[in-house]
Amino acid sequence: MNDVWWCLFSFRGRIDRMPYLLGSILCLLVSAILEPIIRDAYLGDRTHWIGYELSLAMAKADLTVAAVTLWPSLALQVKRARSIGFPIWFLLVILAVTGMLMLLVPTLGMLAAVVVAAVHLFAPRDFARARFA
């Protein structure tokens, strides 16, 4: 249990591919399970809502789920970036650019997110040091 706690909530240390993959899948499963539950809690029996009220309730549900999974996701990203040798500031720049792309051009942003996830998942340990040294 301490290993799971460390893996999902601590920013210290490094992790290999398998704990990163399992932690990412766990975050996705938590999001997939919590999203309909929280959405139902916000909407309740008010299915007649349209337009602004509906989109506001859906945005509240999405923000709640994002707030729950943000810390574990960032902890996994930071530890994996450290494992493959990328500096943390580089990871923050990549996440900021990916986030801006997702806002401006969602398809391009999703493609960038998939590329970043693939680099984190498939890069061997100390990849950046060997590549950019």
Q: Is the pLDDT of residue 47 over 60?
A: yes
- By C-alpha distance, which of 126, 130, 128, 94 is closest to 112? 94
Largest CA distance in the chain: 60
Average pLDDT over all residues of the chain:
80
Q: Which residues constitute the domain of residue 40?
A: 2-132
Q: Is the pLDDT of residue 130 over 60?
A: no
Confidence of residue 113 (pLDDT cuts 50, 70, 90): confident
pLDDT in tens, 70-93: 899 888 888 888 888 888 787 778
Give me the helices (H) in 1-133, please. Answer: 2-9, 17-43, 52-84, 88-104, 106-122, 127-132
pLDDT of residue 53: 75
pLDDT of residue 57: 79
- By C-alpha distance, which of 116, 120, 112, 133 is closest to 14? 120
pLDDT of residue 84: 84
Domain count for the chain: 1
**What is the model's pTM?**
0.73
Q: Is the pLDDT of residue 132 over 60?
A: no
Q: Is the pLDDT of residue 45 over 80?
A: no
Higher pLDDT residue, 104 or 26? Answer: 26
